[in-house]
């Protein structure tokens, strides 16, 4: 399939020249600025002399979504609605099944433009919809700096193999698409629902998971980014990995829903501090590691079990140690309710339950212990995916599967062989105590949340 804009834009089906409008199906980048997809859609509509409309479908059957994640999503939609209105771009907010609503729009469209997807469930939905389409179909990658297929055409071994490829291509994509002015006709908005009515929309309709205090949307993401750049950025390289410090950006839920673009984060950070060690550290996480995760989910042959994708050495060693005796075995319920003997692990799980996120370092520890406390490798994997995707606002993301996969040896190297883990990296509570002020972390995880 042809690639354009250095691979950012992929033509899935060529337009036939028929059709009355250009439709941008906003499905991964829920924002009205800093979006290559939206800017490309505006450009396409202007060039064809056709009206543009932006379509968002609220499909309450979306895989693994629940009250917590939908509320965050709807908060983001409220910002999309305001942002598009300011730019004079019509919005259709429709409620129903993707497969039922999309064909209605495709039938009349010259071109359907959509955001690329990387996880199998969402790719499968797109493929089914595209197969029936007679309009042009174009996919844009709005949420990565370097388009995933342009960076590499295979599943990469680790950060060390993808890093040079990304670094070489990165200058082509900064700062990204410039904003375009929409010159077409302003069609009427069609609003099946009001995004602010989340109670009415969701109560009794989707699984209830207590929402977090963190609010979704581009405005909130921009505020968090500003605060990060002013306060925490100067110590990012030094303190990011320390769970007792609060040095991280806190942007992963916003990146997951596309409420903010990684290009915007990079530009603001660069503007604040130039290209220093903190910029390098941010680039490493936000671009190299995050885009390695996208590479992984796009090219992995399956995500149902770690044995579908971990390197041979990791699969072999985990299998060899799967029957090793275990000091603790917990039920899923005990894990879910943070009722283990390990105070630090319980603190991490409590963060997840209440804040919708765990500090990165503790997330690694959280995953490693689930391996230690589950009967089998596959059971540990299923539990991690379930807990992460149910409670994490940034869950159901390429990073979710890459992060969980890492606990089983993905993108990592062999270590000294030991019980249960074999040669896969092990983490201990003693290591946490030696490196960090774990009392401060635990106090924060419980105390700040008021549930000690």
Ligand X SMILES: Cc1cc2nc3c(=O)[nH]c(=O)nc-3n(C[C@H](O)[C@H](O)[C@H](O)COP(=O)(O)OP(=O)(O)OC[C@H]3O[C@@H](n4cnc5c(N)ncnc54)[C@H](O)[C@@H]3O)c2cc1C
Please give the residue ranges that form the binding site for ligand X (CB under 6 A).
240, 248-252, 255-256, 285-286, 289-290, 293, 360, 363-364, 367, 388, 392, 394-395, 397, 399-400, 402-404, 406-407
Backbone angles phi, psi at 391, to 5 degrees: -105, -25
Measured distance CA(47)–CA(25) in Å, rounded: 19
Question: Whole-number minimum distance, CB 195 to ligand X, in Å?
Answer: 23
Question: Whole-number minimum distance, CB 418 to ligand X, in Å?
Answer: 19
Measured distance CA(45)–CA(17) in Å, rounded: 13
Q: Which is nearer to ligand X, 342 or 394 (CB)?
A: 394
Question: Whole-number minimum distance, CB 413 to ligand X, in Å?
Answer: 16
Q: Which is nearer to ligand X, 80 or 364 (CB)?
A: 364
Measured distance CA(51)–CA(361) in Å, rounded: 48
Q: Which is nearer to ligand X, 220 or 252 (CB)?
A: 252
Measured distance CA(117)–CA(12) in Å, rounded: 13
Q: Which is nearer to ligand X, 75 or 394 (CB)?
A: 394
Question: Whole-number minimum distance, CB 37 to ligand X, in Å?
Answer: 19
The answer to whether residues 180 and 42 touch, using CB atoms and an 8 Å cutoff, is yes
Question: Whole-number minimum distance, CB 223 to ligand X, in Å?
Answer: 15
DSSP 397-439: SHHHHHHHHHHTTTT----S-BTTTBTS----HHHHHHHS-HH
Q: Which is nearer to ligand X, 101 or 364 (CB)?
A: 364
Q: Which is nearer to ligand X, 21 or 295 (CB)?
A: 295
Nearest residue to the partner ligand X, using Cβ: 403
For 152, residues 6+ apart whose C-beta sits below 8 A from its C-beta are 162, 165, 295
245: its two tokens: 């410090």
Tell me the residue ranges of DSSP E strands in 153-233. Answer: 190-191
The answer to whether residues 240 and 360 touch, using CB atoms and an 8 Å cutoff, is yes
Q: Which is nearer to ligand X, 68 or 363 (CB)?
A: 363
For 318, residues 6+ apart whose C-beta sits below 8 A from its C-beta are 306, 310, 377, 408, 409, 421, 422, 424
Question: Whole-number minimum distance, CB 366 to ligand X, in Å?
Answer: 6
Question: Whole-number minimum distance, CB 130 to ligand X, in Å?
Answer: 27
């Amino acid at each position: 399939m042809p690639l354009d804009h250095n691979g950012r834009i992929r033509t899935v089906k060529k337009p036939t020249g028929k059709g009355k409008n250009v439709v941008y199906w906003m499905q991964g980048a829920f924002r009205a600025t800093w979006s290559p997809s939206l800017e490309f859609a505006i450009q396409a509509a202007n060039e064809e002399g056709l009206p543009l409309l932006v379509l968002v479908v609220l499909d309450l059957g979306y895989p693994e979504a629940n009250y917590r994640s939908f509320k965050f999503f709807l908060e983001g939609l409220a910002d999309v609605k305001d942002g598009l209105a300011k730019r004079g771009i019509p919005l259709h907010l429709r409620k129903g099944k993707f497969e039922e609503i999309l064909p209605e729009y495709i039938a009349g469209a010259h071109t359907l433009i959509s955001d690329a997807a990387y996880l199998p469930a969402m790719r499968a939905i797109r493929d089914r919809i595209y197969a029936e389409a007679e309009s042009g179909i174009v996919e844009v990658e709005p949420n990565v700096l370097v388009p995933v297929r342009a960076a590499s055409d295979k599943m990469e071994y680790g950060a060390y193999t993808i890093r040079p490829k990304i670094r070489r291509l990165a200058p082509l994509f900064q700062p990204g698409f410039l904003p375009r002015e929409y010159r077409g006709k302003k069609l009427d908005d069609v609003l099946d629902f009001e995004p602010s009515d989340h109670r009415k929309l969701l109560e009794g309709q989707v699984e209830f998971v207590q929402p977090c205090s963190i609010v979704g949307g581009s405005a909130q993401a921009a505020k968090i980014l500003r605060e990060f750049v002013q306060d925490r950025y100067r110590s990012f390289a030094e303190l990011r990995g320390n769970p007792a410090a609060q040095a991280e950006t806190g942007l992963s839920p916003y990146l997951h829903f596309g409420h903010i673009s990684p290009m915007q984060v990079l530009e603001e950070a660069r503007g604040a501090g130039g290209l220093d060690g903190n910029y390098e550290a941010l680039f490493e996480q936000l671009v190299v590691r995050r885009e390695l995760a996208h590479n992984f989910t796009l090219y992995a042959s399956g995500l149902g079990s770690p044995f579908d994708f971990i390197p041979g050495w990791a699969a072999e060693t985990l299998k060899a140690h799967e029957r090793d005796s275990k000091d603790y075995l917990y039920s899923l319920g005990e894990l879910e309710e943070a009722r283990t003997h390990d105070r630090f692990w319980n603190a991490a799980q409590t963060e997840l339950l209440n804040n919708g996120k765990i500090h990165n370092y503790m997330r690694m520890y959280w995953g490693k212990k689930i391996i230690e406390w589950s009967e089998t490798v596959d059971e540990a994997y299923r539990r991690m995916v379930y807990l992460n995707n149910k409670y994490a606002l940034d869950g159901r993301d390429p990073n979710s599967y890459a992060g969980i996969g890492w606990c089983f040896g993905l993108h990592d190297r062999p270590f000294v062989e030991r019980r249960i883990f074999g040669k896969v990296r092990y983490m201990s509570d003693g290591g946490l105590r030696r490196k960090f002020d774990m009392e401060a972390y635990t106090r924060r995880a419980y105390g700040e949340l008021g549930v000690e």
